Structure formats: structure tokens, C-alpha cells
Structure 1
């Protein structure tokens, strides 16, 4: 599921409402916003939030509000009675910091059916010691406005695996290059992962999908331009799709093998290539003359077995380690883009994947 963020204290109500309607038409289905910056004019701020939340709900979008214990105190809200959040239209609340575990557990049984979203950028949560109602417990990572403060990949994987293993729906943030506003005065991008800070938004999202640990991808900053919003909406969220620069003069049959088939890696993996073998059955009678059968194959090269390769004709390979093209049996038909090559190791035993032309 894809999501967006909005910040009513930074943008006009009309602009946010237009943004929500546009995103909803593109298939975005959830919204994030923060109450952590609630100021002295709380009533005016809440009214602005409520107007925007109403628009989101009218467009069939869930709305999660970021809160912490101090917000409960400021608004005189008891963890035993969450009607305030229901009354302003929220579908859930994200607990940016922990209570004591028991309180979160009790919240998950709230009479309004509100989701309780945990901060997944902590590597554990006390809630699980108190038998929460897992039907209404979900999770979402933080985002990080300051450069060099985002999560490391190892820690992100550790935390995400911990919560995913609990059976929760999980979420993380990507940052738009054209989005300006976050909840804070300062931001230099708002990614969850530090390595994503300067990546394009689609590659960030592909990485989250490739980990297999994140269900929902949320644009953290607002309001991105139409091109970024639309590009992310077109992403295949079910599997990794690698961007490819096809070689010039690729044959129609090789282009079909490459771009119009569902690929998956064999279960008996090796260290030199990813092998999509079932396509060779489909194309066993096709004519695949020798073409661009270079002597040495490099990581990121995509190969297809040519007519000289016997029973391996038509097999697609994705090179992962330098190796010779023994006998010239493999045509190099394309190359995974430099920006997407770091995603290749996420294709493991039986992984499904596809290719798309680099735009």
C-alpha cells in the first residue's frame, strides 16, 4: 500500500485537500501526519487537521496521527479513552515513543477500532509482553530530517524483521526530491534509511519492496510534484522490477523474453548468476542467433542463451560475478542500471522478479 503525508500547519488546507484527492485517484490509500508539534493554539490546529482528515476519509484513505505521551497530557487524553482521535476522523495513532507496554496493549482493545501503530525504529517493544490485540497493532519506522542520522541498513533490517515476525503490517518512509515540507522547520530529505537520502523515489521504494519486510511505503514530505507522485503510483509493489538499458538492436524475441515474462530464480542458486530457466521451455523452438556474445560477462549483464546452447537456448541469466562467456553461447541483451544494481542481491532462491526499460 502507498501513502502520503500532510502537515496542516505548513501548507494551505486547499492545497492539501487537492493533493489528497490527486493521490487517492492514483491509488494511494493511507495518510500520515504528526501532532507532535502541536502548539499553544491547539484548538485552531486541530480544526485544520480535522478538515483535511475529513477529505482523506471521503477519498477512502486511512489516516494515522503521530503522537506521544506528552500529547496525551497536553490534550488531557487518557489511554483508556481514545474518542478524541476517533472524533477527528483518524483511523489510528502512531506511538512515536513508548508508554509502559501495558498501556499500549490496553489501547489496542479500544472500542473504536483504532489501529495502534508502533515505532519500528526501536528494536523491541514492551507491548508484546502484555498480549495486545494484534488485529489492531501495526508498525511504522521513523524518518530523519538531518543528514547522516537515518537508519543504517543492518539496523533497519534487524528492526523490520523483529516486527514483521510478530505478524504486523509494516511501513517505512521514502523522501521525494520535490517535496519541501515536513513537520519540522529543518529538513534535508526525510528518509527512513540514510542510504536513500539522495536516491530517486522509485529506487527507494524498490529497495523497501526487495527487503520483503515492508508492506506500506509512505512519502514523508509534502507536496511532491505530479511526476514523482505518478511514478511511485506505477510501481509494482508485488515484486522487484529492475530497470534495464537494453542493448541496441536487440531482437524482438529476446526483447519479449526479457520484458514480457515472469522471471524467478532457481532454488539451487550459484554465486555467478541468477538463472530464470522456465523461459527456455517456452522459447525452445525460437530462433536466437548469436549476437553480442562478448568474451567476458560482468555483474549486471543480462544474458539469453543463443542457438548454439543446446537445451539452454532461451534461458535468461543475470550475472552476479565476473565470468567468461564460455563458447559464446550467451547473448548479452541488456544491463541493469547502475542505480539498480545494489538491488540484485535481494533476488534469492525462488525470488520472483521482472525487468523494465530504463526511462
Structure 2
């Protein structure tokens, strides 16, 4: 895997299941529902299941048969202590191959050359490390580990206020992204009473900011990070509405370049050329901001607001996110001034330059800092408050679009 170009994503979606608290029937029903919405990875805890070696192997063989039949990859949480219990070792993963496990998440690594041997196992089982284990992964690579067999995953944090901030994890993400090693992160279902591996029901996010955030906003935040390859629901069971919501975000966010009309393609090439870059080959990713629309918008305003590709060139990231594309690529219809009684536009407000400033009329802008309403801009609406945190991650050539709140 090579690091992705800016503006591209191959993000996947996943679920977590906890055999010590759920029946196989419940798990199968949940995985069937997830498959309907494009989920294709499951995380589970292997070492939390009690029983003899045979009982544990038989159980997980049944689980992986169900999962594989629905198109899932199975990621199992283990540690070196469990290796001893189950009769496995760094150079013998045959028991996990027998179970049908595709990825082993090493809750505790060896910390020496044995990690390289573990990674290069003959069964092709991918080895996953906590993202905090940078030295472990770097050391394994130095001992000949095959990079393509490694992935990483953040922790989740059941106890409120114990999860890190995005600022604390972004360096880890950047390190592995540069190496081309996938990074996974946990989504937090907002369904009351969801669980993880322990009897705690206060969510399972990777970062504290996500604990009470709608799942769609969490996923958009991850997309804006540009370093997350897999978004997994940590707690179970997420609702069908939540599964559908994140799948819809990914669908709205990803645009095949084959769908872009020639005029738009020329504008994109021009924008990228300004930064000495080429347009991504396969697809573009847009953050689909949820907008609460003002009443009385003109058709010309709606055309520019819901124009599919907004981006700041990077020179105006101060008071606003400024989309010149909505001015350049759309027609020259009038943007008649509309009365707005707000003396100041506030963070999250979405505005459009009107004909009082005709040369720039049609530019759509997201307000980042309070701006005086001088009559040169019409208020189009405001971005949902749950998504304002995403603004801080938007950089030059990060595309965004708008989806009307129902």
C-alpha cells in the first residue's frame, strides 16, 4: 500500500462484536445488517473467550465462517499471554489459521526481532499494532518485516474523559500514513446501553471529542484527518440508522473523477497546477457538511451552494473557507442582495458574495471568525454545530460540499 494522494481515500467501515456478551445469532444478525451498508471488517476479542483450546477454536471457526460468508475480514485481539494459553508462538500461528482469523491485533507485542518473524508468518495473517507502538513497528521493519503485512489501530476508551484529543494522536497517524501502513480508528455509537468487552456503557471512542458527537460528524472528522483507513464502531450494537448514516457520508464524500464534467475537470486541473500538483487519478473526497438552509434562497444561490466542489486555495484560511470555484465554474447570473438582520456573521455561517461586490459575486464562504455584515454577502445557512470542529482540519485543496439538513 502506498500513501494516498491528497484528496483520495480508500476508507473502509467496520463493526465490533464481543462473543463474551453476545450470542452467535445476535452477531450474525448484526453482521448481516452491516453488510447491507458496505461494512466489511469486524473487530473482536479472542482472549476474552473462556474454554479449552478446542472450544475456543471451534467457536471462532463458526464466527469466521459467518463473517467470511458475508464478505468480512476478521480482526482478533490477542496478546502474548494468550499465545501461551492457546499453544501459539511468534513462529507458529497455525491455531489462528485454523480459526480463520485474518488479522491479529497484538495487544502486547514481543518488542524484539520476534515481531518481524510474527509479521512474516507463512499463513499471510496480517499483524496489527496499537498506533502508539511506533518503535515496535519501526524495529520490526528494521529486522526485515514485510510492511504490507502490518496495520495499526488506535485504542478505544470506555471511561469518560480518558480518551486523548486529536492533537495527541495526529503525529502517530502521520507517521504510519507516511510509511503507507493503514490506520484504524473507532467510531462511537450514540445508542443508549451499547457495550464493549466490559460492563461500561459510556461509549467507546478513540478521541474524547467524539464521545457525544453524531456518528456522521465523527466520520467526517476522520475523513478530514486524511490519515484514517478504517473507521470501526467500537461499541455494539450500533443502530441501523447509524450504519446507514456513516455509509451515506462515505457515499456523499467520494466522487469518481469519471463523473466530473469537462468544465469542472479543467477548473480542478487549474487549482492543482497552482500548487504544483496533479489531480488525483481515481477519485476526490469531499467533506459533506450538513447545512441548515435559510429560507428564501434564489435558484442562483442554491446552484452555487450545492455545487459539488468547494475548496479554499489555501491563501485565505483566516476569517473564512473561501470557495472561488463556485464563482468560476457556475454561470454569471445575478446574486441579488438579500436583507439579513445579523450585524455579525458567526463561525459556521455559510454566505455568498452578492452583486454589491460584483467581481466576486457567487463565491461561497464558510465563516471561521466573526465578520461584520457589510451587505456584500447573503446568508445561505449555517453548518451544523456538531461539525464545526472539522473546519480546523481543512487545508488548501481539501474539497467540501453541502447536504441540506432535513
- Select which of 171, 176, 180 maps to 1:167: 180
Is 1:32 the counterpart of 2:32? The answer is no
- Three-state SS of the structure 1 residue aligned to 2:235 is coil
Q: Is the 8 A contact 2:177 2:227 kept in 1?
A: yes
Q: Does 1:350 align with 2:391?
A: no
For the 8 Å contact 2:57–2:98, the answer to whether it is kept is: no
Aligned counterpart, 1:269: 316
SS in 2 for 1:55: helix
Distance apart, 1:54 and its partner CA: 0.9
2:215 maps to what in 1?
A: 201
TM-score by length of 1: 0.94
SS in 1 for 2:315: coil
Name the SS of the counterpart of 2:18 in structure 1: coil
Question: 1:171-197 CA distances to partner (integer Å, 9 max, x unpaired)?
Answer: 000111226231223342111112211
1-side partners of 2:79 and 2:89: how far apart? 12
Pair 186,42 (structure 1): closer, same or farther in 2 beyond 3 Å: farther
The TM-score, its normalising length taken from structure 2, stands at 0.83
Match of 2:200 in 1: 186
1:221 is aligned to 2:232: no
Does 238-247 or 67-76 show the bigger shift? 238-247
Distance 1:246 1:100 in 2: 54
Q: Give the equivalent residue in structure 2 for 1:130.
A: 143
Q: Quote the offset at 1:334 in angstroms.
A: 0.9
* Deviates most, 55-64 or 43-52: 43-52
Please, what is the CA RMSD of the aligned residues? 1.8
The 1-side partners of 2:339 and 2:178 are apart by 46
Q: Equivalent of 1:63, from 69, 74, 92?
A: 74
Match of 2:91 among 80, 83, 86: 80
The unaligned stretches of length 5 or more in structure 2 are 1-11, 254-284
Decide whether the 8 Å contact of 2:46 with 2:76 is kept in 1: yes
Question: Deviation of residue 88 (structure 1)?
Answer: 1.3
Q: What's 1:23 paired with?
A: 34
Aligned partners of 1:262 and 1:352 also within 8 Å: yes
User: Which of 365, 371, 377 pairs up with 1:323?
Assistant: 371
Quote the Cα distance in structure 1 between the aligned partners of 2:200 and 2:152.
25
1:252–1:284: structure 2 CA closer, same or farther, 3 Å change rule?
closer
Moved over 4 A (4+): none
Q: Does residue 44 of structure 1 match 2:66?
A: no
Q: Distance in 2 between matches of 1:74 and 1:239?
A: 47
What SS does structure 1 have at the residue aligned with 2:237?
A: coil
Partner of 2:190: 177
* 2:332 counterpart residue number: 285
Decide whether aligned partners of structure 1 residues 131 and 325 sit closer, same or farther in structure 2, where only a CA change above 3 A counts: farther
Which moves more between the two structures, 271-280 or 151-160?
Answer: 151-160
Change (3 A) 1:124 1:245: farther
In the alignment, structure 1 segments of 5+ residues that lack a partner are none
